Amino acid sequence: MMRRIDFSMYGGDLTAVVERGLAELPRVPPAEERIVMIGGLPLRGHAVLAPMAGVCDHPFRWLCRRAGAGVVYGEFVSSDGLVRGHETARRMLRHTEDEHPIAIQVFGSDPAVVGEAVAMIEAAGADIVDLNFGCPVKKVTKREAGSALLRNPTLLGRIVRAAADAAKRAPVTAKIRAGWDVVNAEEVARIVEGNGAKAIAIHGRTQKMGYAGQANWEIIRRVKETVRIPVIGNGDVFQPADAFRMLDETGCDLVMVGRGAQGAPWVFAGINARARGIAVPALSWRERLDIAAAHLALMLREKPSGVAVMQFRGHLGHYVKAMPGSSTFRREVFAIDEPDVVLARLRAYGEELNGVPAVAAGAHAPSTEVEA
């Protein structure tokens, strides 16, 4: 029998936890007047949430969208898994109406299978179907998928064509890296555009680099000069100033924020506030911990408590990064399995830090999490 969880300190249920955190989460909508057309789909604002495996589930997407992300991307899903009817893969297509516009990213190496998967993703209600040609992780590349396809531009082009032909409503886009071990992003971008994709996102590192070193934004600029479709820049955007520097230096149409949004979904509010010429919302440590608690509460609404607590640990490390005493706090909380105790510790830690100056909202240090 599942143990009854005591949330009495938050008003008796998870709703109070969520409401408290949402009250602290800055909300600055994308600028209505700034529109980027992806095929026939108008996207507003300057910044979108990147697809990140193990991160971009519904609660995280929803927080980012609420804060002001112009588009949110789901976790990438296997085309083979979808077509074979794997429940885990199909569950990754689920989303809610208040997440729109939402993009679902798919990976695979068989054009026919990818095409079939694209039709399924479109039928599930995705506004954009994105093709993953950027994941550097070995379990993906050993299947000749993800960034491995940068070594085989001909096959990559066939996959884009099959996907574009399969989609009847949603625009098909692609996300690439600078290359595998040598830069061939301009060649790949031309192939992506020539086979029917309506936009391309580019991460300014090669597969060989992983997430080491610095993303080369010059490559993003060269791709922008190469194609006519919208270009979305990605790599090393950790705070609002980074987003506008990328826009200025590369001429890209949108900025894709991945690791910079982990533990800081409010980064999108900061970007939108800067675009509007208003003050970037300032958050105290306590307010950030209230948002973290809301994040966990949203996860608990959808998942078994043990699963939610375990998965939340991956987010918590980012929320508390740079907080005074965070190493000790993190070790303590990582040893706790009971969600009500985790929530209580988040609340208590926030009270301990009340009045302690915090770094500017949206400021974020790099992490090592994997973007798809």
Q: Which CATH number fits domain 8-22+282-352: 1.20.120, 3.30.1490, 1.10.1200, 2.60.40?
A: 1.10.1200
The question of whether 135 is a catalytic residue gets the answer yes
Which regions of the chain carry the CATH code 1.10.1200? 8-22+282-352
Please say whether the beta carbons of 203 and 235 come within 8 A. Answer: yes
Q: Give the SS3 label for residue 157.
A: helix
CATH fold for domain 28-276? TIM Barrel (3.20.20)
What confidence score (pLDDT) does residue 359 get? 65
pLDDT digits (tens, 9 = 90+) for 57-104: 999 999 999 999 999 999 999 999 999 999 999 999 999 999 999 999
Question: Residues near 164 by Cβ (< 8 Å), separated by ≥ 6?
Answer: 172, 195, 196, 197
Which regions of the chain carry the CATH code 3.20.20.70? 28-276
What confidence score (pLDDT) does residue 82 get? 97
Per-residue pLDDT in tens (0 to 9) along the chain, 372 residues? 233 444 444 444 789 999 999 999 999 999 889 999 999 999 999 999 999 999 999 999 999 999 999 999 999 999 999 999 999 999 999 999 999 999 999 999 999 999 999 999 999 999 999 999 999 999 999 999 999 999 999 999 999 999 999 999 999 999 999 999 999 999 999 999 999 999 999 999 999 888 888 999 999 999 999 999 999 999 999 999 999 999 999 999 999 999 999 999 999 999 999 999 998 768 999 999 999 999 999 999 999 999 999 999 999 999 999 999 999 999 999 999 999 999 999 999 999 998 887 765 444 444 444 556
Q: Which one from 56, 64, 135, 252 is the annotated catalytic residue?
A: 135
pLDDT digits (tens, 9 = 90+) for 332-346: 999 999 999 999 999
Helix 58-67 with 285-302: angle, nearest 10 deg: 140
Work out the angle at residue 4's Cα, subtended by the Cα atoms of residues 3 and 9, and round it to the nearest 5 degrees.
135
